[in-house]
Structure 1
Protein backbone atom coordinates (compact mmCIF):
# COMPACT_ATOMS: atom_id res chain seq x y z
CA UNK A 1 0.00 0.00 0.00
CA UNK A 2 1.43 3.37 -0.93
CA UNK A 3 1.63 5.92 1.90
CA UNK A 4 -0.34 9.12 1.87
CA UNK A 5 1.26 11.82 -0.27
CA UNK A 6 3.29 9.25 -2.22
CA UNK A 7 2.30 7.83 -5.52
CA UNK A 8 3.90 4.94 -7.31
CA UNK A 9 4.94 5.96 -10.80
CA UNK A 10 5.63 3.75 -13.75
CA UNK A 11 6.81 4.63 -17.20
CA UNK A 12 4.60 3.95 -20.15
CA UNK A 13 5.88 1.92 -23.05
CA UNK A 14 6.42 5.07 -25.11
CA UNK A 15 8.32 6.75 -22.29
CA UNK A 16 10.56 3.72 -21.86
CA UNK A 17 11.25 3.69 -25.61
CA UNK A 18 12.06 7.40 -25.61
CA UNK A 19 14.35 6.98 -22.60
CA UNK A 20 16.11 4.01 -24.22
CA UNK A 21 16.69 6.03 -27.39
CA UNK A 22 17.92 9.08 -25.48
CA UNK A 23 20.44 6.97 -23.56
CA UNK A 24 21.20 4.27 -26.09
CA UNK A 25 21.86 6.34 -29.21
CA UNK A 26 24.48 8.66 -27.59
CA UNK A 27 26.07 5.64 -25.88
CA UNK A 28 26.34 3.74 -29.17
CA UNK A 29 27.76 6.79 -30.94
CA UNK A 30 30.29 7.25 -28.14
CA UNK A 31 31.37 3.61 -28.37
CA UNK A 32 31.52 3.72 -32.18
CA UNK A 33 33.35 7.05 -32.49
CA UNK A 34 35.59 6.98 -29.40
CA UNK A 35 36.14 3.56 -27.87
CA UNK A 36 36.18 1.50 -31.06
CA UNK A 37 38.85 3.66 -32.77
CA UNK A 38 40.84 3.78 -29.51
CA UNK A 39 40.84 0.01 -29.16
CA UNK A 40 41.60 -0.30 -32.87
CA UNK A 41 44.65 1.95 -32.42
CA UNK A 42 45.85 -0.22 -29.56
CA UNK A 43 45.60 -3.28 -31.79
CA UNK A 44 47.30 -1.60 -34.76
CA UNK A 45 50.14 -0.43 -32.53
CA UNK A 46 51.39 -4.02 -32.59
CA UNK A 47 51.45 -4.13 -36.37
CA UNK A 48 53.33 -2.87 -39.40
CA UNK A 49 50.91 -1.44 -41.96
CA UNK A 50 51.01 1.39 -44.46
CA UNK A 51 47.25 1.89 -44.51
CA UNK A 52 46.76 0.33 -47.95
CA UNK A 53 44.78 -2.85 -48.37
CA UNK A 54 42.77 -4.84 -45.86
CA UNK A 55 43.55 -6.70 -42.68
CA UNK A 56 45.25 -9.46 -44.67
CA UNK A 57 48.02 -6.94 -45.49
CA UNK A 58 48.68 -6.15 -41.82
CA UNK A 59 51.93 -7.62 -40.48
CA UNK A 60 51.87 -8.26 -36.74
CA UNK A 61 55.21 -7.35 -35.17
CA UNK A 62 54.45 -7.51 -31.46
CA UNK A 63 56.09 -4.87 -29.30
CA UNK A 64 58.70 -3.94 -31.92
CA UNK A 65 57.10 -0.56 -32.63
CA UNK A 66 57.33 0.42 -28.97
CA UNK A 67 60.93 -0.74 -28.70
CA UNK A 68 61.91 1.17 -31.85
CA UNK A 69 60.13 4.32 -30.67
CA UNK A 70 61.75 4.26 -27.23
CA UNK A 71 65.25 3.43 -28.45
CA UNK A 72 65.66 4.48 -32.07
CA UNK A 73 63.33 7.41 -32.84
CA UNK A 74 65.31 10.66 -32.36
CA UNK A 75 62.20 12.89 -32.32
CA UNK A 76 60.42 10.95 -29.56
CA UNK A 77 62.21 12.07 -26.39
CA UNK A 78 62.37 15.76 -27.40
CA UNK A 79 58.60 15.55 -28.02
CA UNK A 80 58.02 13.96 -24.59
CA UNK A 81 60.13 16.69 -22.96
CA UNK A 82 58.23 19.44 -24.79
CA UNK A 83 54.87 17.93 -23.83
CA UNK A 84 55.91 17.78 -20.16
CA UNK A 85 57.18 21.38 -20.27
CA UNK A 86 53.88 22.38 -21.91
CA UNK A 87 51.90 20.60 -19.19
CA UNK A 88 53.88 22.03 -16.26
CA UNK A 89 53.66 25.53 -17.72
CA UNK A 90 49.88 25.31 -18.15
CA UNK A 91 49.45 23.98 -14.61
CA UNK A 92 51.58 26.72 -13.05
CA UNK A 93 51.03 29.88 -15.09
CA UNK A 94 47.56 30.11 -16.71
CA UNK A 95 45.92 28.08 -13.93
CA UNK A 96 47.26 30.44 -11.27
CA UNK A 97 46.41 33.48 -13.40
CA UNK A 98 42.89 32.17 -14.04
CA UNK A 99 42.31 31.61 -10.32
CA UNK A 100 43.57 35.10 -9.50
CA UNK A 101 41.32 36.71 -12.13
CA UNK A 102 38.34 34.68 -10.88
CA UNK A 103 38.91 35.89 -7.31
CA UNK A 104 39.12 39.50 -8.49
CA UNK A 105 35.99 39.25 -10.64
CA UNK A 106 34.11 37.53 -7.81
CA UNK A 107 34.39 40.75 -5.81
CA UNK A 108 31.78 42.34 -8.08
CA UNK A 109 34.03 44.91 -9.68
CA UNK A 110 32.53 47.66 -11.75
CA UNK A 111 32.28 46.54 -15.39
CA UNK A 112 33.06 43.02 -14.17
CA UNK A 113 30.94 41.48 -16.93
CA UNK A 114 32.93 43.37 -19.55
CA UNK A 115 36.25 42.22 -18.11
CA UNK A 116 34.97 38.66 -17.95
CA UNK A 117 33.88 38.72 -21.59
CA UNK A 118 37.17 40.22 -22.77
CA UNK A 119 39.26 37.69 -20.84
CA UNK A 120 37.12 34.78 -22.04
CA UNK A 121 37.18 35.89 -25.70
CA UNK A 122 40.38 33.96 -26.64
CA UNK A 123 38.73 30.71 -25.50
CA UNK A 124 36.21 30.85 -28.35
CA UNK A 125 39.07 31.03 -30.86
CA UNK A 126 40.54 27.82 -32.24
CA UNK A 127 44.18 27.07 -31.46
CA UNK A 128 44.92 27.32 -35.18
CA UNK A 129 43.59 30.89 -35.23
CA UNK A 130 45.51 31.66 -32.05
CA UNK A 131 48.64 30.46 -33.86
CA UNK A 132 47.98 32.84 -36.78
CA UNK A 133 47.38 35.77 -34.41
CA UNK A 134 50.58 35.21 -32.45
CA UNK A 135 52.59 34.74 -35.62
CA UNK A 136 51.72 38.37 -36.34
CA UNK A 137 52.77 39.34 -32.82
CA UNK A 138 56.11 37.47 -33.05
CA UNK A 139 57.01 38.37 -36.65
CA UNK A 140 60.66 39.61 -36.56
CA UNK A 141 60.41 42.84 -38.62
CA UNK A 142 56.75 43.88 -38.57
CA UNK A 143 55.69 42.01 -35.44
CA UNK A 144 54.06 43.82 -32.52
CA UNK A 145 56.44 42.51 -29.83
CA UNK A 146 59.73 43.48 -31.48
CA UNK A 147 58.33 46.90 -32.34
CA UNK A 148 57.22 47.45 -28.75
CA UNK A 149 60.71 46.45 -27.58
CA UNK A 150 62.26 48.80 -30.17
CA UNK A 151 64.42 46.10 -31.77
CA UNK A 152 62.48 45.49 -34.99
CA UNK A 153 64.93 47.49 -37.13
CA UNK A 154 68.20 47.00 -35.25
CA UNK A 155 68.40 43.45 -33.88
CA UNK A 156 65.04 41.67 -34.24
CA UNK A 157 64.46 38.48 -32.29
CA UNK A 158 63.13 35.55 -34.29
CA UNK A 159 60.77 34.32 -31.57
CA UNK A 160 59.35 31.42 -33.57
CA UNK A 161 62.43 30.55 -35.61
CA UNK A 162 64.91 30.18 -32.76
CA UNK A 163 64.53 26.64 -31.40
CA UNK A 164 65.91 27.72 -28.01
CA UNK A 165 63.01 30.10 -27.30
CA UNK A 166 60.17 29.25 -29.70
CA UNK A 167 58.59 26.69 -27.36
CA UNK A 168 58.24 29.28 -24.61
CA UNK A 169 56.95 31.86 -27.06
CA UNK A 170 54.23 29.46 -28.17
CA UNK A 171 53.45 28.60 -24.53
CA UNK A 172 52.66 32.26 -23.89
CA UNK A 173 50.16 32.11 -26.75
CA UNK A 174 48.61 28.90 -25.40
CA UNK A 175 48.42 30.40 -21.90
CA UNK A 176 46.65 33.48 -23.30
CA UNK A 177 43.83 31.20 -24.43
CA UNK A 178 43.81 28.77 -21.49
CA UNK A 179 43.70 31.45 -18.77
CA UNK A 180 40.19 32.57 -19.71
CA UNK A 181 38.85 29.02 -19.58
CA UNK A 182 40.32 28.37 -16.12
CA UNK A 183 38.99 31.74 -14.96
CA UNK A 184 35.42 30.85 -15.91
CA UNK A 185 35.63 27.45 -14.19
CA UNK A 186 36.90 28.96 -10.95
CA UNK A 187 34.46 31.84 -11.15
CA UNK A 188 31.58 29.38 -11.36
CA UNK A 189 32.98 27.54 -8.35
CA UNK A 190 33.36 30.76 -6.33
CA UNK A 191 29.77 31.76 -7.07
CA UNK A 192 28.63 28.43 -5.58
CA UNK A 193 30.50 28.92 -2.28
CA UNK A 194 28.11 29.46 0.62
CA UNK A 195 28.43 33.11 1.79
CA UNK A 196 27.86 31.90 5.37
CA UNK A 197 31.32 30.27 5.29
CA UNK A 198 33.01 33.58 4.56
CA UNK A 199 30.92 35.37 7.16
CA UNK A 200 31.86 32.77 9.77
CA UNK A 201 35.54 33.14 8.88
CA UNK A 202 35.29 36.94 9.21
CA UNK A 203 33.61 36.60 12.62
CA UNK A 204 36.49 34.37 13.73
CA UNK A 205 38.92 37.16 12.84
CA UNK A 206 40.31 35.71 9.61
CA UNK A 207 41.60 38.20 7.06
CA UNK A 208 40.88 37.90 3.35
CA UNK A 209 43.89 35.68 2.60
CA UNK A 210 43.20 33.36 5.52
CA UNK A 211 39.51 33.09 4.64
CA UNK A 212 40.38 32.16 1.04
CA UNK A 213 43.14 29.64 1.78
CA UNK A 214 41.49 27.94 4.77
CA UNK A 215 37.79 28.18 3.94
CA UNK A 216 37.06 29.01 0.28
CA UNK A 217 39.83 27.13 -1.55
CA UNK A 218 39.16 23.76 0.16
CA UNK A 219 35.53 24.05 -0.94
CA UNK A 220 36.76 24.40 -4.53
CA UNK A 221 38.20 20.87 -4.56
CA UNK A 222 35.72 19.59 -7.22
CA UNK A 223 36.62 22.54 -9.43
CA UNK A 224 40.32 21.83 -8.88
CA UNK A 225 39.78 18.28 -10.17
CA UNK A 226 38.04 19.58 -13.30
CA UNK A 227 40.71 22.22 -13.90
CA UNK A 228 43.55 19.70 -13.53
CA UNK A 229 41.93 17.15 -15.85
CA UNK A 230 41.18 19.81 -18.47
CA UNK A 231 44.71 21.22 -18.19
CA UNK A 232 46.36 17.80 -18.53
CA UNK A 233 44.26 17.02 -21.60
CA UNK A 234 44.98 20.46 -23.06
CA UNK A 235 48.71 20.13 -22.41
CA UNK A 236 49.11 16.65 -23.87
CA UNK A 237 46.83 16.99 -26.89
CA UNK A 238 48.33 20.32 -28.04
CA UNK A 239 48.68 20.21 -31.81
CA UNK A 240 47.00 22.96 -33.82
CA UNK A 241 49.07 25.93 -32.73
CA UNK A 242 52.50 24.38 -33.37
CA UNK A 243 51.37 22.76 -36.62
CA UNK A 244 50.24 26.13 -37.94
CA UNK A 245 53.55 27.74 -37.02
CA UNK A 246 56.09 25.23 -38.40
CA UNK A 247 54.42 21.81 -38.51
CA UNK A 248 55.86 20.92 -35.10
CA UNK A 249 59.54 21.02 -36.06
CA UNK A 250 62.70 22.94 -35.11
CA UNK A 251 62.12 22.84 -31.34
CA UNK A 252 58.32 22.52 -31.37
CA UNK A 253 58.08 18.73 -31.59
CA UNK A 254 55.06 17.32 -29.72
CA UNK A 255 53.71 13.77 -29.44
CA UNK A 256 50.48 14.72 -31.22
CA UNK A 257 52.51 15.99 -34.18
CA UNK A 258 54.49 12.74 -34.34
CA UNK A 259 51.23 10.77 -34.37
CA UNK A 260 49.95 12.85 -37.29
CA UNK A 261 53.21 12.68 -39.22
CA UNK A 262 53.34 8.88 -38.98
CA UNK A 263 49.68 8.15 -39.69
CA UNK A 264 48.77 10.64 -42.43
CA UNK A 265 52.21 11.96 -43.35
CA UNK A 266 54.41 10.89 -46.22
CA UNK A 267 55.74 7.85 -44.34
CA UNK A 268 52.22 6.52 -43.55
CA UNK A 269 53.35 4.15 -40.82
CA UNK A 270 50.04 3.28 -39.19
CA UNK A 271 51.63 0.96 -36.64
CA UNK A 272 54.15 3.55 -35.47
CA UNK A 273 51.55 6.29 -35.30
CA UNK A 274 49.18 4.06 -33.34
CA UNK A 275 51.96 3.13 -30.90
CA UNK A 276 52.73 6.82 -30.36
CA UNK A 277 49.02 7.50 -29.76
CA UNK A 278 48.90 4.73 -27.16
CA UNK A 279 51.97 6.19 -25.42
CA UNK A 280 50.26 9.59 -25.33
CA UNK A 281 47.10 7.99 -23.93
CA UNK A 282 49.03 6.17 -21.20
CA UNK A 283 50.84 9.37 -20.17
CA UNK A 284 47.52 11.25 -20.00
CA UNK A 285 45.82 8.55 -17.95
CA UNK A 286 48.84 8.32 -15.66
CA UNK A 287 48.52 11.96 -14.61
CA UNK A 288 44.73 11.99 -14.37
CA UNK A 289 44.21 8.66 -12.59
CA UNK A 290 46.98 9.34 -10.06
CA UNK A 291 45.49 12.68 -9.10
CA UNK A 292 41.92 11.37 -8.92
CA UNK A 293 42.95 8.44 -6.71
CA UNK A 294 44.67 10.83 -4.31
CA UNK A 295 41.63 13.11 -4.20
CA UNK A 296 39.18 10.28 -3.53
CA UNK A 297 41.41 8.77 -0.84
CA UNK A 298 41.65 12.14 0.87
CA UNK A 299 37.87 12.53 0.79
CA UNK A 300 37.34 9.05 2.23
CA UNK A 301 39.80 9.72 5.08
CA UNK A 302 37.91 12.88 5.95
Structure 2
Protein backbone atom coordinates (compact mmCIF):
# COMPACT_ATOMS: atom_id res chain seq x y z
CA UNK A 1 0.00 0.00 0.00
CA UNK A 2 1.44 3.36 -1.04
CA UNK A 3 1.79 6.29 1.34
CA UNK A 4 -1.00 8.21 -0.45
CA UNK A 5 -3.41 5.26 -0.26
CA UNK A 6 -2.56 4.82 3.44
CA UNK A 7 -3.33 8.47 4.15
CA UNK A 8 -6.60 8.24 2.23
CA UNK A 9 -7.57 5.22 4.34
CA UNK A 10 -6.75 7.12 7.54
CA UNK A 11 -8.80 10.11 6.33
CA UNK A 12 -11.70 7.79 5.46
CA UNK A 13 -11.59 6.27 8.97
CA UNK A 14 -11.44 9.70 10.59
CA UNK A 15 -14.47 10.88 8.59
CA UNK A 16 -16.40 7.79 9.70
CA UNK A 17 -15.59 8.60 13.33
CA UNK A 18 -16.34 12.31 13.01
CA UNK A 19 -20.16 12.21 13.59
CA UNK A 20 -19.80 10.08 16.73
CA UNK A 21 -16.89 12.22 17.96
CA UNK A 22 -18.89 15.43 17.46
CA UNK A 23 -21.91 14.05 19.32
CA UNK A 24 -19.71 12.76 22.14
CA UNK A 25 -17.92 16.08 22.42
CA UNK A 26 -21.08 18.19 22.32
CA UNK A 27 -23.19 16.11 24.70
CA UNK A 28 -20.59 14.51 27.00
CA UNK A 29 -17.19 16.22 27.17
CA UNK A 30 -18.28 19.83 26.68
CA UNK A 31 -21.02 19.72 29.38
CA UNK A 32 -18.60 17.97 31.73
CA UNK A 33 -15.94 20.65 31.26
CA UNK A 34 -18.54 23.39 31.62
CA UNK A 35 -19.85 21.83 34.85
CA UNK A 36 -16.36 21.57 36.34
CA UNK A 37 -15.67 25.22 35.52
CA UNK A 38 -19.01 26.33 36.95
CA UNK A 39 -18.31 24.51 40.20
CA UNK A 40 -15.25 26.72 40.75
CA UNK A 41 -17.16 30.02 40.58
CA UNK A 42 -19.86 31.82 42.49
CA UNK A 43 -22.51 33.44 40.30
CA UNK A 44 -22.46 37.19 40.00
CA UNK A 45 -25.47 39.22 41.11
CA UNK A 46 -27.01 42.24 39.37
CA UNK A 47 -24.82 41.89 36.31
CA UNK A 48 -21.56 41.33 38.20
CA UNK A 49 -19.19 38.75 36.67
CA UNK A 50 -18.88 35.33 38.38
CA UNK A 51 -16.33 35.22 41.20
CA UNK A 52 -13.65 32.56 41.18
CA UNK A 53 -13.62 30.76 44.54
CA UNK A 54 -11.60 27.65 43.73
CA UNK A 55 -12.53 24.68 45.89
CA UNK A 56 -14.63 26.66 48.37
CA UNK A 57 -17.86 25.32 46.87
CA UNK A 58 -16.67 21.78 47.58
CA UNK A 59 -15.76 22.72 51.15
CA UNK A 60 -19.22 24.21 51.72
CA UNK A 61 -20.81 21.12 50.20
CA UNK A 62 -18.89 18.72 52.45
CA UNK A 63 -19.89 20.80 55.49
CA UNK A 64 -23.57 20.52 54.59
CA UNK A 65 -25.28 17.77 56.67
CA UNK A 66 -28.05 17.44 54.07
CA UNK A 67 -25.50 16.41 51.44
CA UNK A 68 -24.21 13.62 53.67
CA UNK A 69 -27.78 12.50 54.40
CA UNK A 70 -28.48 12.31 50.67
CA UNK A 71 -25.18 10.51 50.05
CA UNK A 72 -26.05 8.00 52.78
CA UNK A 73 -29.47 7.44 51.21
CA UNK A 74 -27.85 6.84 47.84
CA UNK A 75 -25.38 4.37 49.35
CA UNK A 76 -28.23 2.41 50.95
CA UNK A 77 -30.13 2.55 47.65
CA UNK A 78 -27.11 1.25 45.71
CA UNK A 79 -26.44 -1.55 48.21
CA UNK A 80 -30.10 -2.51 48.04
CA UNK A 81 -30.60 -2.42 44.28
CA UNK A 82 -27.31 -3.51 42.69
CA UNK A 83 -26.74 -6.99 44.21
CA UNK A 84 -30.45 -7.77 44.41
CA UNK A 85 -31.25 -6.86 40.81
CA UNK A 86 -28.16 -8.70 39.52
CA UNK A 87 -28.89 -11.87 41.48
CA UNK A 88 -32.55 -11.81 40.50
CA UNK A 89 -31.78 -11.19 36.83
CA UNK A 90 -29.31 -14.09 36.77
CA UNK A 91 -31.85 -16.40 38.43
CA UNK A 92 -34.51 -15.37 35.91
CA UNK A 93 -32.11 -15.90 33.00
CA UNK A 94 -31.21 -19.39 34.25
CA UNK A 95 -34.89 -20.23 34.55
CA UNK A 96 -36.01 -19.03 31.12
CA UNK A 97 -32.95 -20.56 29.45
CA UNK A 98 -34.32 -24.00 30.26
CA UNK A 99 -36.96 -25.87 28.29
CA UNK A 100 -40.14 -24.71 30.00
CA UNK A 101 -43.76 -24.80 28.86
CA UNK A 102 -44.75 -21.29 27.86
CA UNK A 103 -41.15 -20.12 28.04
CA UNK A 104 -41.85 -17.20 25.67
CA UNK A 105 -44.63 -15.91 27.90
CA UNK A 106 -42.40 -16.16 30.97
CA UNK A 107 -39.67 -14.19 29.23
CA UNK A 108 -42.19 -11.56 28.18
CA UNK A 109 -43.53 -11.30 31.73
CA UNK A 110 -40.03 -10.80 33.14
CA UNK A 111 -39.16 -8.18 30.53
CA UNK A 112 -42.44 -6.22 30.59
CA UNK A 113 -41.47 -3.91 33.53
CA UNK A 114 -38.42 -2.80 31.56
CA UNK A 115 -40.38 -1.45 28.60
CA UNK A 116 -42.76 0.54 30.79
CA UNK A 117 -41.92 4.26 30.98
CA UNK A 118 -40.63 5.13 34.43
CA UNK A 119 -43.46 7.62 34.97
CA UNK A 120 -46.04 4.94 34.20
CA UNK A 121 -44.28 2.42 36.46
CA UNK A 122 -44.15 4.97 39.29
CA UNK A 123 -47.87 5.63 38.99
CA UNK A 124 -48.60 1.89 39.10
CA UNK A 125 -46.54 1.51 42.25
CA UNK A 126 -48.16 4.57 43.76
CA UNK A 127 -51.39 2.61 43.63
CA UNK A 128 -49.65 -0.38 45.23
CA UNK A 129 -48.31 1.80 48.06
CA UNK A 130 -51.40 3.97 48.67
CA UNK A 131 -52.15 3.97 52.46
CA UNK A 132 -55.90 3.31 52.34
CA UNK A 133 -56.71 1.70 48.99
CA UNK A 134 -53.30 0.37 48.02
CA UNK A 135 -52.85 -3.25 46.92
CA UNK A 136 -50.21 -4.06 49.53
CA UNK A 137 -52.28 -2.78 52.44
CA UNK A 138 -55.32 -4.63 51.10
CA UNK A 139 -53.27 -7.86 51.08
CA UNK A 140 -52.06 -7.20 54.62
CA UNK A 141 -55.63 -6.52 55.72
CA UNK A 142 -56.75 -9.85 54.23
CA UNK A 143 -54.39 -11.57 56.68
CA UNK A 144 -55.55 -9.45 59.59
CA UNK A 145 -52.46 -7.24 59.61
CA UNK A 146 -52.41 -3.47 59.85
CA UNK A 147 -51.47 -1.40 56.82
CA UNK A 148 -48.36 0.74 56.47
CA UNK A 149 -47.64 4.17 55.08
CA UNK A 150 -45.12 2.83 52.60
CA UNK A 151 -44.06 6.18 51.15
CA UNK A 152 -44.85 8.41 54.13
CA UNK A 153 -42.87 6.62 56.82
CA UNK A 154 -39.20 7.77 56.82
CA UNK A 155 -38.07 4.33 58.01
CA UNK A 156 -39.80 2.49 55.16
CA UNK A 157 -39.99 4.90 52.21
CA UNK A 158 -36.47 4.37 50.85
CA UNK A 159 -36.82 0.59 50.95
CA UNK A 160 -40.14 0.89 49.11
CA UNK A 161 -38.32 2.78 46.35
CA UNK A 162 -35.64 0.06 46.30
CA UNK A 163 -38.24 -2.68 45.77
CA UNK A 164 -39.77 -0.80 42.84
CA UNK A 165 -36.37 -0.19 41.26
CA UNK A 166 -35.36 -3.85 41.48
CA UNK A 167 -38.67 -4.81 39.86
CA UNK A 168 -37.95 -2.33 37.04
CA UNK A 169 -34.30 -3.23 36.41
CA UNK A 170 -34.09 -7.01 36.81
CA UNK A 171 -35.79 -7.83 33.51
CA UNK A 172 -33.42 -5.57 31.60
CA UNK A 173 -30.32 -7.18 33.08
CA UNK A 174 -31.87 -10.61 32.47
CA UNK A 175 -31.55 -10.06 28.71
CA UNK A 176 -27.77 -9.76 28.91
CA UNK A 177 -27.42 -12.83 31.10
CA UNK A 178 -29.74 -14.81 28.84
CA UNK A 179 -27.70 -13.88 25.77
CA UNK A 180 -24.49 -14.85 27.57
CA UNK A 181 -25.95 -18.20 28.68
CA UNK A 182 -27.00 -19.03 25.13
CA UNK A 183 -23.48 -18.26 23.90
CA UNK A 184 -21.92 -20.91 26.17
CA UNK A 185 -21.01 -23.98 24.06
CA UNK A 186 -23.34 -26.91 24.86
CA UNK A 187 -20.39 -29.29 24.61
CA UNK A 188 -19.24 -28.09 28.03
CA UNK A 189 -22.47 -29.27 29.63
CA UNK A 190 -22.32 -32.58 27.79
CA UNK A 191 -18.75 -33.18 28.96
CA UNK A 192 -19.73 -32.29 32.54
CA UNK A 193 -22.66 -34.74 32.39
CA UNK A 194 -20.33 -37.50 31.25
CA UNK A 195 -18.06 -36.76 34.22
CA UNK A 196 -21.03 -36.85 36.59
CA UNK A 197 -20.67 -33.20 37.61
CA UNK A 198 -23.57 -31.86 39.63
CA UNK A 199 -25.58 -28.94 38.28
CA UNK A 200 -24.51 -26.71 41.17
CA UNK A 201 -20.83 -27.49 40.70
CA UNK A 202 -21.09 -26.95 36.93
CA UNK A 203 -22.65 -23.54 37.52
CA UNK A 204 -19.90 -22.32 39.86
CA UNK A 205 -16.99 -23.92 38.03
CA UNK A 206 -18.02 -23.32 34.41
CA UNK A 207 -21.11 -21.19 33.88
CA UNK A 208 -20.46 -18.36 36.33
CA UNK A 209 -16.80 -17.79 35.30
CA UNK A 210 -17.90 -17.60 31.65
CA UNK A 211 -20.55 -15.04 32.65
CA UNK A 212 -18.01 -12.71 34.26
CA UNK A 213 -17.74 -10.32 31.26
CA UNK A 214 -21.52 -9.93 31.32
CA UNK A 215 -21.50 -9.58 35.10
CA UNK A 216 -18.93 -6.79 34.87
CA UNK A 217 -21.01 -5.01 32.23
CA UNK A 218 -24.22 -5.38 34.25
CA UNK A 219 -22.44 -4.22 37.40
CA UNK A 220 -21.30 -0.98 35.79
CA UNK A 221 -24.78 -0.32 34.40
CA UNK A 222 -26.40 -1.08 37.76
CA UNK A 223 -24.01 1.38 39.42
CA UNK A 224 -24.92 4.10 36.92
CA UNK A 225 -28.62 3.38 37.42
CA UNK A 226 -28.17 3.70 41.19
CA UNK A 227 -27.11 7.34 40.90
CA UNK A 228 -29.41 8.56 38.12
CA UNK A 229 -32.72 8.23 39.92
CA UNK A 230 -34.95 11.26 39.37
CA UNK A 231 -38.24 10.57 37.62
CA UNK A 232 -39.89 8.07 39.93
CA UNK A 233 -38.76 10.04 42.98
CA UNK A 234 -40.47 13.07 41.46
CA UNK A 235 -43.71 11.10 41.08
CA UNK A 236 -43.67 9.09 44.32
CA UNK A 237 -42.03 11.09 47.12
CA UNK A 238 -40.26 14.23 45.81
CA UNK A 239 -37.38 13.26 48.09
CA UNK A 240 -39.53 13.07 51.22
CA UNK A 241 -40.56 12.47 53.84
CA UNK A 242 -37.96 14.67 55.51
CA UNK A 243 -35.38 13.85 52.80
CA UNK A 244 -35.64 10.13 53.59
CA UNK A 245 -35.72 9.24 49.87
CA UNK A 246 -33.68 12.13 48.52
CA UNK A 247 -30.90 10.78 46.30
CA UNK A 248 -27.94 12.50 44.70
CA UNK A 249 -29.25 13.19 41.22
CA UNK A 250 -32.61 14.31 42.55
CA UNK A 251 -30.67 16.60 44.91
CA UNK A 252 -28.93 18.03 41.84
CA UNK A 253 -32.33 18.57 40.22
CA UNK A 254 -33.63 20.30 43.36
CA UNK A 255 -30.71 22.70 43.54
CA UNK A 256 -30.67 23.48 39.83
CA UNK A 257 -34.37 23.83 39.04
CA UNK A 258 -36.19 24.29 42.36
CA UNK A 259 -33.71 26.47 44.30
CA UNK A 260 -31.98 27.89 41.19
CA UNK A 261 -28.60 27.21 42.79
CA UNK A 262 -26.73 26.07 39.68
CA UNK A 263 -23.34 26.32 41.38
CA UNK A 264 -24.21 23.80 44.09
CA UNK A 265 -25.80 21.56 41.47
CA UNK A 266 -22.61 21.67 39.39
CA UNK A 267 -20.49 20.91 42.45
CA UNK A 268 -22.58 17.86 43.36
CA UNK A 269 -22.45 16.67 39.75
CA UNK A 270 -18.66 16.81 39.70
CA UNK A 271 -18.51 14.85 42.96
CA UNK A 272 -20.83 12.20 41.47
CA UNK A 273 -18.69 11.92 38.33
CA UNK A 274 -15.50 11.55 40.37
CA UNK A 275 -17.01 8.86 42.60
CA UNK A 276 -18.33 6.94 39.58
CA UNK A 277 -14.96 7.18 37.84
CA UNK A 278 -13.10 5.87 40.91
CA UNK A 279 -15.55 3.03 41.52
CA UNK A 280 -15.61 2.02 37.85
CA UNK A 281 -11.80 2.04 37.70
CA UNK A 282 -11.57 -0.16 40.80
CA UNK A 283 -14.14 -2.57 39.38
CA UNK A 284 -12.39 -2.89 36.05
CA UNK A 285 -9.01 -3.24 37.77
CA UNK A 286 -10.05 -5.85 40.33
CA UNK A 287 -12.71 -7.81 38.44
CA UNK A 288 -10.97 -7.85 35.06
CA UNK A 289 -8.36 -10.21 36.49
CA UNK A 290 -11.09 -12.76 37.22
CA UNK A 291 -12.86 -12.28 33.90
CA UNK A 292 -12.60 -14.97 31.25
CA UNK A 293 -13.19 -13.63 27.76
CA UNK A 294 -14.20 -16.08 25.08
TM-score for the superposition, normalised by structure 2: 0.90
1:161-200 equivalence runs, <5 A: 161-200=152-191
- The whole-number CA distance in structure 1 between the counterparts of 2:113 and 2:94 is 19
Q: Retained in 1: the 8 A contact 2:212–2:291?
A: no
Q: Would you say 1:253 and 2:253 are equivalent positions?
A: no
1:73-97, Cα deviation, whole Å (9 max, x unpaired): 2321111111111111122212111
2:30 equivalent to 1:39: no
1:29 counterpart residue number = 23
Which residue is equivalent to 1:111? 102
Query: For the residues of structure 2 that align with 1:11 and 1:193, how far apart are their CA atoms?
Result: 42
Specify which of 283, 286, 298 is matched with residue 275 of structure 2. Answer: 283
Structure 2 Cα separation of the partners of residues 193 and 11 of structure 1: 42
CA contact (8 A) 1:141 1:152 kept: no
Equivalent position of 2:56 in the other structure: 64
CA distance in 2, matches of 1:116, 1:236: 28
Relative to structure 1, the CA distance from residue 155 to residue 198 in structure 2 (aligned partners, 3 Å threshold; closer, same or farther) is closer
Structure 1: runs of 5+ lacking an equivalent: 1-6
1:244-289 alpha-carbon deviations (Å, 9 max, x no partner): 11211221111111111111223x2221111100111122122211
* Whole-Å separation in 2 of the counterparts to 1:50 and 1:113: 60
Identify unmatched segments of 5+ residues in structure 2.
none
Q: Distance in 2 between matches of 1:119 and 1:220?
A: 20
Does structure 1 conserve the Cα–Cα contact (< 8 Å) formed by 2:252 and 2:265?
yes
Number of corresponding residues: 289
Superimposed CA distance per residue, residues 194-231 of structure 1 (whole angstroms, 9 cap, x where no aligned partner) = 11111122222211111111011101111011110010
Determine the C-alpha separation between the residues in 1 that align with 2:22 and 2:162. Answer: 37
* Deviation (angstroms), 1:153: 11
1:113 offset after TM fit, Å?
1.2
Shift of 1:21: 4.2
Q: Give the alignment's TM-score, normalised by structure 1.
A: 0.88
State the alpha-carbon separation in 1 of the partners of residues 124 and 221 from structure 2. Answer: 23
Shift of 1:299: 5.4
Asked if residue 293 in structure 1 is aligned to residue 292 in structure 2, the reply is no
Aligned CA-pair RMSD = 2.7
> What is the CA deviation profile of residues 123-175 of structure 1, one whole-angstrom value per residue up to 9, with x for unaligned ones?
11232222111101000111111011117999431100111100001111111
Separation (CA, whole Å) in 2 of partners of 1:243 and 1:118:
26
How many Å apart are 1:57 and its aligned residue? 2.1
- Measured in 2, the distance between the counterparts of 1:52 and 1:111 equals 67
Taking the aligned partners of 1:245 and 1:52, their CA distance within structure 2 comes to 37
Alpha-carbon distance change, 37 to 200 in structure 1, aligned in 2, over 3 angstroms: same
Q: What is aligned with 2:205?
A: 214
